[in-house]
Structures are given as structure tokens and as C-alpha cells.
Structure 1
């Protein structure tokens, strides 16, 4: 597996994805420069929104996500992976369960918990080394929550910060589900049903959840 191919979800041959990568698709940039600049674009140009969740396969296609101005961590990870693969940089999706400790009132109200699952992040292969990158939280949101924006330098893993700017607990990684060759839709849906059954049951038969 070279993690470069297009799939139903990572449909990078689409016009939407080709438009995003146009500025990076040049021999004047190294793969590391392309990856780090693209990471920032996906991180900041799509506002993080955990309250809009897709329940259909179509909703997780990169070309469809690209048309929106916001996205869940899964959405933004899929978008970044598709763009990286389009630039011939190996990338794959990685899932986990995390616990958020900042600004959780609405999360708890809507989800009944401040545990988020499955949380999506990206594995990127640069210089023969697999790195983790988390493009979920845009810069403006981080500043609002008093958390330093998460950077990616193409050399170190870029994981959610454990503490905020004042030393308070920000994010915990509770469980690692590992990486997948393609978007594991059935796994994600079953995971949501297991952890948020009260919500999923309400929206059964619908294609998306808006909380």
C-alpha cells in the first residue's frame, strides 16, 4: 500500500480538490513545504464544527467537504489526505477517542459527554517517516479558547496540546484506534452509535446530524 491512490472518499481527481492544491502543485516547493503549507490551509480555511455530523458515505467525500466552509475533524482530515495524495505525498486517516476540557458546556449539552469519538487526524509520510498531524482546530478558534494554534513542521508529530496557555488541561487522548487505508465508514458509524446512541437514534434514517 503506497497511500497515494484516489478512492471514493479521497477523490482528488475532482475539480474541487484540484482547485485547492493548485498553488502547491509546483516543483519549486519540496514535499515538506507542500505538506506544511497545505496543513495550515486546511486548518484555517475550514472552521471547526463538531455539531454537524454526516451519516452517509457521500458526506465524507473530499470533493463534497471542499465545497463547505466548515468541517468536523473527520471532514478536515479527509480533505487534507486527499490534497496530500493529489500532490503525491503518502497520507492515511488515523482515528482516536479524545476528551476535551475547554469550552465543553455545549458539547456536554449536545452529546451528553465531553469525549469525542471517533476523532480524525492524518498520518503523513515525509522523508520516509510517518508523522501525525491534527488540522481540526482553526487558528481563530484556538485564540478564542486561549490555546496556541497547533502547528506542523513536517518533522515532528502535531498532536493536540495537553494544556492551554494558562497550564489548564486542554485535551486528553483516551484511546487509539489506529490508521486505515481508506475512510472506514462502517467503523466510524458503529463507533458513533456505540458512544452517542441517544443522538443517532433520533436521526435514524437521515443523512446528517445538525445539533
Structure 2
């Protein structure tokens, strides 16, 4: 079946935190099936946490499920971890997936900040439901997708849910370039080192800190 590690609490999948358990209690009930729980938790994370890529931090706490809830906004990796922590708390095995992707519809502001339209270390979660691993990507909330002119990603607990290849007008949206595999915990050093290599202007190699504090606090507003 699957490793017990995919059900364990960790520094990042910190499902014993009161905020994580409170969200679970508000979202699922004991009589729901694993698939029903996973679906409900997916939408709670997708739309309950606003997507904001500028809040990336080289502090390990920032990639935890509890921090994601405390902040109320985050990007793909912490949102995936939060969904994974909620599922683990409910007995559903979860593991983190990482990939490099190219966003053909990225906003000018985000491309300028990154100096690239390639996003390294894009995070998604894999959930073990009814005997199979299923991918879920709760990153982009519905309100953001509406502003971007793309349909929000749905999740049925059976089919992989990853970024749409095309937007509603037929233009290419997200393209997967490299798959780094799945992990039973957040590979923090691997993520930060990869970000440092891809975007050296953002992070101090000595202190591993995001250097552009003003950009960190900027709200992501995609082009119309």
C-alpha cells in the first residue's frame, strides 16, 4: 500500500496544530468517506488561502501547514502542504510533489520580480484515495482564477488535478518542464537551494533571506 511516513506529523505537516485541526473540524465529518473528505479539504485550502507568490521566505516555518493558515495567504508549496497535513490528520496518506513549470500567462510584475517565466519548485500534493495516488493542486484560488480568465482547477478525488495546459481562450497556460518526484516531507534545503540557483537576485546566499522585502509584501495582481 503506502509508507507510514505519508501519515506522520512533521515540522511541516504539523497537523496537531490547533488551527489545522479547527479547519478540519469545520470542513469534514466522521461519516464522510476518504474521497469526500479529500474533496472538501481541497476546496477549503484552494479558496480559503489566497494565492500570493511574493510571500516566499527562506525560513523553514514559512513552509508549514500552520503558518499557511496563520498568514491566510501563500503560494503553491505551503498550500499543498496544508492540504496534505489536513488529509494526514484524517488518515489519508499524503506526499508532496515538486516540479519546475513555465507559466506562459504570468503577470509582467511577477516575471519582472523573478526575472524569468520559469517557476522552479512548483508544489502539488498526492493523496492516496481508494487504492491509488491522485494529484491535487490547490494553489490558485477561485477569485484569482476569475481575474486571470482561467477556470479554477476542480478536484474529484479520482483524476489528477494539475494546472490547465490552456486557458479559456485556448492560449497555453502552464507547462511542466521537470518533475522532481514525491517526498514524504518537505525537502527544505533542496527547495531553498534550487530557488537560490534559479533566482539568485532574490536570496542572500549567506543569510538565505529574501532580499527584496518590498516585493515580498506586494499582492499578486495578474494582467487582464
Tell me the TM-score range normalised by the shorter chain. over 0.9
Residues 53-107 of structure 1, C-alpha deviations (whole Å, 9 max, x = no match)? 1101122221122111110111101111111100110001000001111143112
Counterpart mapping for 1:118-157 below 5 A: 118-157=121-160
Q: CA separation in 2, counterparts of 1:25 and 1:142? A: 25
Q: CA separation in 1, counterparts of 2:16 and 2:178? A: 33
Moved over 6 A (4+): none
Identify the range of structure 1 (40-49 vs 197-206) with the bigger mean alpha-carbon deviation: 197-206
Q: CA separation in 2, counterparts of 1:29 and 1:85? A: 15
Q: CA separation in 1, counterparts of 2:25 and 2:210? A: 31
1:88 and 2:86 matched: no
Residues 25-68 of structure 1, C-alpha deviations (whole Å, 9 max, x = no match)? 42221110100011011000111111111101122221122111
Unaligned ranges ≥5, structure 1: none
Change (3 A) 1:166 1:76: same
Counterpart mapping for 1:30-49 below 5 A: 30-49=33-52
Q: TM-score, normalised by structure 1?
A: 0.95
1:14 and 2:14 matched: no
Which residue of structure 1 aligns with residue 68 of structure 2? 65
Which residue of structure 2 aligns with residue 180 of structure 1? 183
Which residue of structure 2 aligns with residue 158 of structure 1? 161
Aligned-residue Cα RMSD (Å) equals: 1.6
Q: CA separation in 1, counterparts of 2:11 and 2:40? A: 25
Work out the number of aligned pairs and report it.
Answer: 211
Q: CA separation in 2, counterparts of 1:38 and 1:98? A: 25
Q: Is the Cα contact below 8 Å between 2:28 and 2:40 reproduced in 1?
A: no
Q: Is the Cα contact below 8 Å between 2:28 and 2:41 reproduced in 1?
A: no
Q: CA separation in 2, counterparts of 1:132 and 1:208? A: 33
Change (3 A) 1:198 1:206: closer
Q: Is the Cα contact below 8 Å between 2:203 and 2:209 reproduced in 1?
A: no
Query: Of the candidates 142, 150, 170, which is equivalent to residue 173 of structure 2?
Result: 170
Secondary structure, in 3 states, of the residue corresponding to 1:200?
coil
